[in-house]
Structure 1
Amino acid sequence: MRKFFLKIHKWFALPLGVVMAILCFSGLAILLIKDLAPLFDMNAKELPIYTTIVRLHRWLFMKPENAHDGGLSLGRILTAVSSICMTIVLLSGIVIWWPKSKKALKNRLKISTNKGFRRFVYDSHVSLGIYVVIFLLLMSLTGPVFSFGWYRQGISKLFGQPMPPKGMKMQQPKDGAKQSATNDKAFVQVDTSQIKQQTQAAKDEAKDMKGDQHGKKPKGGKLFKQLHTGTWGGWFSRVLYAIAAFIGGFLPISGYYLWWKRRSREKN
């Protein structure tokens, strides 16, 4: 069983590990700029470096058309797929390195500094990953929410946060509908109750995205954004997310190093 999950861990991380590292480091940069800019009386969103890093984090500089209406691009797909793969990598890592005893757990949480550089990197990869796995899972699970509508709907149901799809789709004309002799366009009579339901759903979504103004638990997009960016716990959670994002960027790099060293040793 461990060998099976080790293969999953490796083959999901190797192709997209670079993107995972970019997402973590760029997310860290966004968090730091947003928190530090006000200290210098600056608006982070007006800084060119901030907008550049946001474009990297969200779309890998490949911004789609209609980006805020669900438009897709290769960059947006890669970032979302990498987030999903990162979730799988993290979960498989938990299975692989889950200790069998308290003594083993104690050893897992230690980093050896006197047994060579490879052992130092290995211990850092395992122990640091254990320390921040919860925060990285929150980031990776909520990341695709902002890219894929189907994922947003699925995770909304999973979290018990109903979130209707963006936009309202009107009923399409059925086959055999009567056509006008003047403009040759099809018309269909739409149930007024359905229109009201769709309109109300759109209003609920807009309210959901803005959050509750009376101190109630945030829903839908607001909740996912807080879980993704670490704003749910004030400055304390943001500090934890900053540390986790830095370690999250380190994990793929250390993983590549360990994989390369193992291949070199097998060849020799």
Structure 2
Amino acid sequence: MQPKKSTAWKSIRNIFDQIHLYAGLISGLVVIAVCLSGTVYVYNTEIREFMDSELYFVEETGPRMTADELRSSLEQSAESKVVGLMWNEESDRSVQFTLKKEGEEGRGTTYYVNPYSAEILGNTSDRTQTAEFMGYMFSLHRWLLLDQIEEPILESMGNRDLGRFINGVATLLFLLGVITGIVIWVPNKVKSWKQGLKVKWSANWKRVNHDLHNTLAFYSLIFLFIMGATGPFWSYSWYREGWQKTWDTYQESPGPRGGNAEGPRRGGAKPEIADTEASVPMLSLEDVFAKTNAELPYEGNIRVSIPSKASDPVSVSKYRTGFFARAGADQLTLSSTDLSVTEANLFSDLPFRQQIGRSVKSLHVGDIFGQFSKFLWFVACLIATSLPITGTLIWWNKRKKKPAKKKPIARQVAEMA
């Protein structure tokens, strides 16, 4: 019975070997581009802050101005209204205010502000060289730079959709390679597991390359799986919907209200209630911070969205900071009249399934546990970039092997004599 089991496993393993091989060969070039850009983009924030430090860091020159004082100064100088801000208490950091002119479309412009002098250090509309570079890295990672091509490549879809589709196919093949790699590695290495967890540096380069492919992939296995499983979320709507339903975060898109089959009207006259809507009273940002910190008593950065109507609430999000800071913001909805809490959505209160479902971006980019997990994802991305290269070399070296030459018959007879 044992030989039959061994033969059956060899046949099964051969199938998985072929799937693993061709999934890697087909997706190799795309995986290298996506993983290399992903390796860089893991530290997107840190790279921007280092290269454009004048926007993010300031010199401490006395007491900081309050958020209300900064808002008043900015609104006078920019002749716009503050509609949101990102605030932190670190003494050497700038703060960010989003301003919008009356009647302006879009989200407005975000300004980097020195909290000691109210000096505007720059804004998001000014594209620095670092921002341009990181924009290209994001484009390469998400759309393979196809969105940079003006002329459509295919008539059936736009270049961005084409890049997203190719990216998704390559990511699914990469995920398939990870899964088949597990099946191949575990039964093959279980008896000699110590040898499978190290690289024999004293061997020839072919053996070293083989060990690097197998060993590094094993050590980064869980991270590679997470990156591969979350990647298609941004490529395919069916995958995104499946993810949301799996982790209980799916919400139906709101349909048209009322009995009008044509749906809600766009443009034209607004309902009368909008004409009589009172403007929002001048809220004290310091009071908003105090209320938020009382409800969420931990260190973190606070983002505030200021409503434009008196009936609309104030939206507040607080993000934890620190080396092991957990991803997932806590959100509060405050009444714009008395700042009472009308709704609290705390990340820790969510069921575990929903915490995973809502952390898809953090799981993909690696900031699920702050700088600690970022470093692990950075290393895993480097390994992922190398796997198509080392895997292709393994395949190529096997192709170059020549069958052993048979000894001449005369020599065989002589040896037997």
TM-score, normalization: structure 1?
0.76
Q: Which residue of 2 aligns with 1:177?
A: none
Matches within 5 A, 1:204-223: 211-213=329-331, 214-216=346-348, 217=350, 219=355, 222-223=358-359
What is the letter of the counterpart of residue 57 of structure 1? H
Matches within 5 A, 1:77-156: 77-99=165-187, 103-156=191-244
Identity %: 30
Distance 1:7 1:21 in 2: 20
Distance 1:18 1:100 in 2: 28
Q: Which residue of 2 aligns with 1:259?
A: 395
Higher helix share: 1
Give 5+ residue unaligned stretches, structure 1: 66-70, 174-186, 191-206
Distance 2:381 2:14 in 1: 28
Distance 2:189 2:392 in 1: 28
Higher strand share: 2
Distance 2:199 2:211 in 1: 5
Tell me which of 349, 363, 366 is aligned to 1:227: 363
Report whether the alignment pairs 1:6 with 2:23.
no
Report whether the alignment pairs 1:56 with 2:129.
no
Give 5+ residue unaligned stretches, structure 2: 1-11, 57-123, 151-157, 264-315, 317-327, 332-345, 405-417
Tell me: CA distance 1:88–1:94, structure 2 relative to 1, closer, same or farther (3 Å): same
What is the letter of the counterpart of residue 239 of structure 1? F
Across the two proteins, how many residue pairs are aligned to each other?
230
| Aligned residues: CA RMSD | 3.1
Distance 1:74 1:239 in 2: 31
Runs of 4+ in 1 over 6 A off after TM superposition: none
Distance 2:19 2:382 in 1: 23
Q: Which residue of 1 aligns with 2:73?
A: none
Residue 153 of structure 1: CA displacement? 1.1
Give yes or no for contact 1:128–1:247 (8 Å, CA) kept in 2. yes
Report whether the alignment pairs 1:24 with 2:35.
yes
- Which deviates more from structure 2 when the two are superposed, residues 221-230 or residues 134-143? 221-230
Residue 168 of structure 1: CA displacement? 4.7
Query: Structure 1, residues 235-263: CA drift from partner, whole Å, max 9, x if none?
Result: 01000000000000000011111111111
Residue 212 of structure 1: CA displacement? 3.6
Tell me: CA distance 1:146–1:220, structure 2 relative to 1, closer, same or farther (3 Å): farther
What is the letter of the counterpart of residue 6 of structure 1? D
